[in-house]
Every structure is written in C-alpha cells, then in structure tokens.
Amino acid sequence: MTLADRDRPAAEGRLHRLADRVGGIGVRARLGLAALAGGFSTAALPPADAWPLGFVAFTLLLLLLDGVRGRLWPGFWTGWAFGLGQFAAGLYWIGVAFFVDAAAFGALAVPSVLGLSAGLAIFTGLVGAVQARAAPQGPGRVLFLAVAWIVAEWLRGHILTGFPWNLIGASALAVPALAQGAAIVGTYGMGLLAVAVFAAPALLLVRGQEDRRPALMTGGLILAVLLGTGVWGTLRLEAHQTATVPGVKLRLVQAAIDQKEKWRGGMKAQHLRTHLDLTRGPGFDTVTDVIWPETAIGYYPQQEAEIREVLARAVPPGGLLITGAPRVEWTPPPAGSPPGTEPQPRVFNSVMAIDDQAQILGVYDKAHLVPFGEYVPLRELNPFPKLTAGSIDFTPGPGPATLALPGLPPVSPLICYEAIFPGEVTAGAATILRPGFLLNVTNDGWFGLTAGPHQHFASARLRSIEEGLPLVRAANNGISAIVDPLGRVIALLELDRRGVLDGPLPTALPPTLYARVGDGSVAVVGLIVLVLAFLLRVPRRRN
C-alpha cells in the first residue's frame, strides 16, 4: 500500500465531515451561507468572469439542500436565499436609475432592488424545493439540480413578459470555445452544463464504497461533455474566419449624453446637433450607412418633415441612417363618443431607417417594454409612476420583425433589452426572409459606470452565437460594438466614451441548430439528463 492509498481514507473523511457540517448548520446560518453563495454565482458571470467561484456557489447550494433533504419549505427558503444573494449582487445597478431624478425617486432605489431580487428569487426557491423533495439519492442529484435550475431560468425568462437577465450559461463567454455550444442548445442549454460542472465537486462527497462507481460515471459524463463542447467550439472558431459584406461600411455613433440631460427641456436641438457633428466628422465620406442609438432624438420624424430634412444630412449618399426615435399614432375616438372627444395618442419606441432624400424606408416598434420605464403595469391600481419622461405609457409593437432595406442585408432590429431574450430576436417562422444581422440600439446611460451595461452587452453577444448572425450594437452610453456570428468582437467603443465606431458588417452563417429549433434542443437534452440523473441514483440504505 502506498502512502497515497493510506492517506486517501483520511482525506475522504475530512471531505465527508465538511459536507456533513455544511448540511447540518442551523437555519440562520444556512440562509446566510446560501445568500453568500448566490453572490458568488454572480461573480462567475460577465463582467467579472470569475468562473472558479461558480464551483463554490453551486457546490455550497447542493450541500445546503442535502441538509434539508425531504423537507419542502426549508428547501424553498434555502433556494430563495441563494437567489436573493444572486440577484441583489447582479442587479444592484438598477438602483442607479432611480438617482437620475434623485429628488423624485432616490428613496426607492434600495427597496426596489431588494424587492425585485426577492421576487426573482422565487424561481430559485422553487429549485430548492424541488431539489429537496424530488432529487435522487447520490451523484444523480448533481444532474437533477442542473435540470431544475434551467427549468426555473426558462420560466423566469417567460412568465410576466420574462426577465432572462444574467442566465448562468453566460459564464461560458469566459471561454469562447465553450460559448459556441449556444449555437446548438442556446444559453439555457449552456446553463445546464454550467450548473452540472459547477456542482460536480459534490461528487467527491458521496459516502460509501458502493457509491464510487456512479460518482465516477457521473463525473466522467460531465467532463466528457465539457471537453467535447470545448473541442467542437475550438474547431468551429478555427473553421469560420470573419467574412464581411462587400461594399458596406458602418458608422456607429455613441454620443454618451448624460441621462440627467437626455430629456431636459430645451436640449433636444443640442442633442441632435451632437449626433450630426459626430456623424459628419472625419471619415464620413468613407462610410455607407450610419447607426444612431435608441431614442437618439426626441423629435417625431414621421410627423416632422423639417426634422427628416435635418436627419438626411447624416445619411451618406445612397446610404441610410438607422436611428432610434419615438413614433406616435392617433387613435380616433370610439363610435358613440361624445362630440368633441379628442383622438388618443399611441406612442411607440421605434427604429427608423431614413435615406438621403429624407424618406422613411422602414420602421420597427419595440415589443418588449420595460416595466416602470416604458409603461406602468396595472396603471389603474399601481401608485408608482414611470421613471422616464412623460406620463403616457408606450404601446408595444407586434414583435420581432425583419426589415428589408436597400444596400444592406435584411436586419432584425432589437431595442434595448429585447436583446436579452433567447430565441426571440428574429421573426423566425413568421417570415421566409432570414435576417443578415441583428441590430441592437440601446441606451444604458441610466445605469452609469456599473456592471449593468457590460452584462447587457454579454447577453447580446450570446444571441449572436445562438442565431449565427452578426450583431451591430449602437448605444447612447453603454458599449457600442460590431460582433461576428460566433460572438467575436470585431470593433468596440467602451462605456462612457463619446465618439464613432467605423467598421465592416460581418456576414451571417447558415442557420444554427438553435436558430432552427429554438429551446426544443435544450428540452431534449434536459429530458435525457433527467433520465440519467435517476439511472445514476444510489438506492437508499436499509437499516
């Protein structure tokens, strides 16, 4: 017997005692440790990319849930505490938006962040409840946790319009080769792999000689999928060098206008001049098309011909200006209304394409509106106002669309956080015209110099990999960039920097598997993993 063989039982004993100690701690300590672990999980995501902390976070979560096995509510509250830590650490930057008008909203910053985090944590609470009551005994519980987590993330991304921010699959962006797996199973599928990998150290903490073989099989399976994804992703990156659309050179304008000045009365004309001056700066004669960000101007170009004439000055000869701008429609009074009833306005947050003859050639209206930013949910019952200027709620558009514009490949416009929704960034089967690129116009100036704009950009990059489409992203203040269809950044303008970004438009790849079947691919994989979780279970010992 070697020295290593003699030391192994002692080492295993220490690991088992550690697991028992974590699983057996008191209620307050368990909830506090779960919240701390949730905060660690956020650090594994962009922009920190401290992915080793993911091992700490999810192994701790699993051990804590092991300690409440069979108990529904303790499992729920353990998962909820983990989520509270995760979302509070990951979404703290939302509070910054309340200080744009500090006198009116500043006092709501902390309660709003904590309230949102507590609400979103219900989804992780459900993970804890299901894990505690239904997970198989032994190493299969690692795979079960991964499936439960992704089901909860999918629900979070769809219920009540959805909020799929900071999906755990975004941790794959730290390793570009691994991130390519999103082209097959999307970000939800990469999250399933991420949770399985991060919780895998718990496989070392399974007691009993008879448990070693299932644990080795489970660990080997996770490692094989991880390595296989990495090798495939490496080959994919090497096989696809970035190609560009001939004859197209874009200029993205990032005016970096302070959000406190953005909608201040009397400054609309100045902001328009700022965009025009940046656009027509050095190199303007070399670009073919110009992109301005979300609500770059405060005017209504459809109703104001003189504004369209001014905007035409920003259009290269024969090219286009694609800009964010508000749009209004007037709804006639319903039949039977009293005489003198005024038409009612419907306001849209839109993208418009304008040519050098001041003609609007295409319009897209934002469909996924931001609660309390663009509309007030249940306005009749809700006492809280919008954070943004104006008392009228925006009207949602019909959904994803593909615009066919002269001189450019077809484009799928995405306004602000519409880019965070996996599988919902193109018109899909609703059109026979596949877009040639994703266009994300946004204004992250609400959130200052925080992690928020970086998280938003990371999510948009994942949509590019999922769909096999390049991404063009213009931000008022945020991160403006051109990204190829494998998520590689071709050109980038940093947060809080005023300027322009000139670059080519990468060409699209053929539709990925995820682009063809959407979340159906991760559903199939999840079902297979769930079956394996129970096949790899360890029967309970009989006394």
CA 272/CA 265 separation, integer angstroms: 13
229 with 252, same domain: the answer is: no
**Helix axes of 109-134 and 72-90: crossing angle, nearest 10 degrees:** 140
258 with 377, same domain: the answer is: yes
CA 141/CA 139 separation, integer angstroms: 5
pLDDT for res 543: 46
pLDDT for res 433: 83
Given a cut of 60, whether residue 116 has pLDDT beyond it is: yes
Confidence of residue 429 (pLDDT cuts 50, 70, 90): low
428 with 443, same domain: the answer is: yes
**pLDDT single digits (tens) 159-215:** 989 999 999 999 999 999 999 999 999 999 999 999 999 999 999 875 544 557 889
More confident residue, 144 or 345: 144
pLDDT for res 383: 64
As a whole number of Å, the end-to-end CA separation of the chain is 32
pLDDT for res 455: 98
Mean pLDDT across the stretch 346-361? 97
pLDDT for res 534: 95
Residue 495 lies in a domain: yes
The catalytic residues are 294, 366, 416
Here the tokens at position 236 are 């994919």
The secondary structure element, H or E, covering residue 225 is helix 212-239
Confidence of residue 540 (pLDDT cuts 50, 70, 90): low
256 with 371, same domain: the answer is: yes
Which of 188-202, 261-275, 383-397, 528-542 holds the top average pLDDT? 188-202
Residue 17 lies in a domain: yes
495 with 524, same domain: the answer is: no
208 with 267, same domain: the answer is: no
410 with 493, same domain: the answer is: yes
pLDDT for res 323: 98
Question: 107, 134, 161 — which closes off a domain?
Answer: 134
pLDDT for res 48: 97
458 with 471, same domain: the answer is: yes
Given a cut of 50, whether residue 3 has pLDDT beyond it is: no
128 with 192, same domain: the answer is: no
Give me the domain span that covers residue 504: 245-333+343-508
130 with 175, same domain: the answer is: no
Helix, strand, coil abundance in the chain, percent, nearest 5: 50, 15, 35
The single-letter code of the amino acid at 259 is Q
The secondary structure element, H or E, covering residue 37 is helix 27-43
- pLDDT mean across residues, the chain: 91
283 with 404, same domain: the answer is: yes
pLDDT for res 339: 79
More confident residue, 337 or 312: 312
- Report whether 84 contacts 37 (CB < 8 A): no
How many helices (DSSP H) and strands (DSSP E) are in the chain?
Answer: 17, 11
What pairs with residue 415 in β-bridges?
Answer: 441
Tally the domains of the chain: 3
Place of tokens 């080997």: 220
Here the tokens at position 387 are 């954070």
SS3 42: helix
Residue 338 lies in a domain: no
Model pTM score: 0.93
